Amino acid sequence: MFALLPDNPFERITVHVDGNTVGVPPGFTAAAAMLLHGASSTRTTPVTGEPRAPYCMMGVCFECLMQIDGEPNQQGCLVTVVEGMRIERQLGKCKVDE
Amino acid sequence: MADFDAIVIGGGLVGTAVAYGIARLGRRPVLLDEGDIAHRASRGNFGLVWVQSKGIGVPEYQRWTRQSSDTWADFSKELLEETGIGTGHERPGGVTICLSEEELDKRRRLMEQLHIEAGETNFDYEILRHAELKKMLPAIGPDVVGASYTRYDGHANPLFTMRALHAALLKHGGTYVPNARVESIQAAPNHFVINAGGQSFAAPRLVLGAGLGNKALGEMVGLDVPVRPVRGQIIVTERLQPVLPIPTLMMRQTVEGTIMIGESREESGFDDTTSPEVIHTLAQRAVKSFPFLKNVRIVRTWGALRVMAPDGLPIYEQSSEFPGAFVCTCHSGVTLAASHARYYAQYVMDGALPAELARFSTKRFDVRAAA
C-alpha cells in the first residue's frame, strides 16, 4: 500500500518487523516501518480483538500501539528506528509480570 | 414558556439520576445543563460504588450509602434493558490496603466502629492479613500488611453510567436542554420560573443538582448550600490483562483493562490541574501495594473537583421559604446514583423528604462558629 519517496537506497537501518529482517530509511518510525513492510493491521484491540492500524501518526490516537524490543503498548509513531530494533504487533491486552 | 412537572438543574450524575427518576415515575422533568464551562465532577470521578469507610459517626449516612449500593445491581440492569448501555457495574467486594501495622490497626478500629453503629443494618467486614489477602489479590507486594474487606463495595464506569442515564431520561419522555446556564429564578411556593439559555421553563418542583453551582443557585431559592471544591487527582494506565479482581480504595481495574489510581484530597480552590508531587505520592503508594505497576505505562492523569460539604456528607433539603425547591448534592455521585434515581426523585415529587434524610438537612450548618 505504501511506497518510499525517492531517497538514497544505500542508507538503510536494519530492523525486524514481526520476525522478518528488513531495511528502512534512517529517521523512520517503528509505525512507518511496519506500514512500509506490508502490515495492514498493527495491533488488535484489548476489548474486542478488532484489528487496527496507525491512524494519526503524530502521537495522539494511540492506534499504533506495538511491541518494541519486547516492551508492550509502545506508540510506534513516536519511536525512531535504530539498528536491530525488534518491532512486533500488539495483540490484545498487555500481559503483566506479577 | 414551557411547562413541566419538575425542573432539574445540573446535567451530571446527580442531576441526571434525579431527572431520570422523575421521568421513570411517569412525570415530565426538564434537565438544564450548563455546558462544558461547568466544573463537571461527573467527567472526572473515579467510579467506585463504595460503602466501607463512609459514615463513621453518622449511621444515617452509612445506611443511605448501603441502600444505594444494594440497589445498584438492579439499577444497572434496568438501565441496560432500557438503553442497551452497560454501566460496567460489578460488586465483587472491595478492600482498603494498609501498608503498616499502624494503618491496619487504625483501620480495624474504624471498621469495628462502623459495625457497632450499623445496628440492625448489619455491617459485616473482615480484616485480612497479608497471606489471606494474597489469595484474593495475588498481585500485592511484600509491603502490604493487610486490608479491610467488605462484600458491599464495587465499581462502575461513571461515563457509561451517565450516558445510560441520559438515554433513559429521554426514553421516558424527559427533556434535556444543553447550554442552559441558569440566568434567573423566579421563585414562589411550588411555582418556579427559570430563564436559562434564552428560554423559559416553569414547574411546581425544582431540584438543584448542579454540584459546586448549588451554592449560588441555593441562595436564589432560600437554601444554604455551603459546598466547596476538594481536588482529587487520578492516574490512568495502559490496558492490561485482568490483574485486580476486586477494587481497592485507591485502585480499580476497569472491564476494558485500564487501571485507575486515585485517592488524593487537596484544598486547591477551583484549580483542577494536576501536580507532580501528588501524582508522585499516588504512584509510589500504588507501586508499593502492587509492585508489577512499576513496569506499567501511564497514559493519562487528570484532576477533578469533588463537591464537598463542611462535614463531608450529602446535602438534602427542601426550601422552607419556597417549598417545592430541593437541593441534592454530594461527593459520591456514582455510589448514590441508584438512590437518587429510585428514592430521592420520589421524595421530590411527593413534596417531602423522609425522616431518614433529616440528618442531611442544611439545618446542621446553623451552628454559630466557635470564636
Task: List, in order, residues 6 or more apart from B46 with CB less than 8 Å away.
Answer: B158, B232, B234, B252, B260, B262, B334
3-state helix, strand, coil in chain A (%, to 5): 10, 35, 55
- Could A94 and B239 be called an inter-chain contact, meaning their C-beta atoms sit closer than 8 Å? yes
Q: How far apart are CA A32 and CA A55, in angstroms?
A: 11
CATH code of residue B279: 3.30.9.10
Contacts of A46 in chain B (CB under 8 A): 239, 256-257
Q: How far apart are CA A18 and CA A21, in angstroms?
A: 8
Q: Are residues B253 and B208 in the same domain?
A: no
Contacts of A59 in chain B (CB under 8 A): none
What strands lie across the sheet with B205-208, from one edge to the other? B175-177, B29-32, B6-9, B205-208, B325-329, B315-318
Q: Are residues B173 and B199 in the same domain?
A: yes
Q: Are residues B291 and B318 in the same domain?
A: no
Number of domains in chain B: 3
Q: Are residues B359 and B222 in the same domain?
A: yes
Task: List, in order, residues 6 or more apart from A71 with CB less than 8 Å away.
Answer: none
Chain A's closest residue to B290, CA to CA, is A98
Q: Are residues B223 and B345 in the same domain?
A: yes
Residue B68 domain-assigned (yes or no) = no
Residue B250 domain-assigned (yes or no) = yes
Mutate to test the interface with B, among A62, A90, A96 (most CBs of B within 10 A): A96
- Could B239 and A46 be called an inter-chain contact, meaning their C-beta atoms sit closer than 8 Å? yes
Structure confidence by residue, pLDDT tens digits, B157-209: 999 999 999 999 999 999 999 999 999 999 999 999 999 999 999 999 999 99
Residue B103 domain-assigned (yes or no) = yes
Residue B80 domain-assigned (yes or no) = no
Q: Could you read off the pLDDT tens digit of each residue along chain B, which spans 371 residues?
A: 789 999 999 999 999 999 999 999 999 999 999 988 888 899 899 999 999 989 999 999 999 999 999 999 999 999 999 999 999 999 999 999 999 999 999 999 999 999 999 988 889 999 999 999 999 999 999 999 999 999 999 999 999 999 999 999 999 999 999 999 999 999 999 999 999 999 999 999 999 999 999 999 999 999 999 999 999 999 999 999 999 999 999 999 998 899 999 989 999 999 999 999 999 999 999 999 999 999 899 999 999 999 999 999 999 999 999 999 999 999 999 999 999 999 999 999 999 999 999 999 999 988 766 65
Chain pair A-B, CB pairs under 8 angstroms: 38
Residue B74 domain-assigned (yes or no) = no
Question: What is the domain extent for residue B283?
Answer: 228-308
Q: Is the ipTM of this complex over 0.85?
A: no
Smallest CA–CA separation between A63 and chain B, in Å? 13
- Residue B244 near residue B137, CB atoms below 8 Å: yes
Chain A's closest residue to B298, CA to CA, is A73
pTM: predicted TM-score of the whole model, two decimal places: 0.91
Q: Which residues of A touch B (CB under 8 A)?
A: 46-47, 62, 72-73, 92-98
Q: Are residues B265 and B283 in the same domain?
A: yes
Smallest CA–CA separation between B281 and chain A, in Å? 22
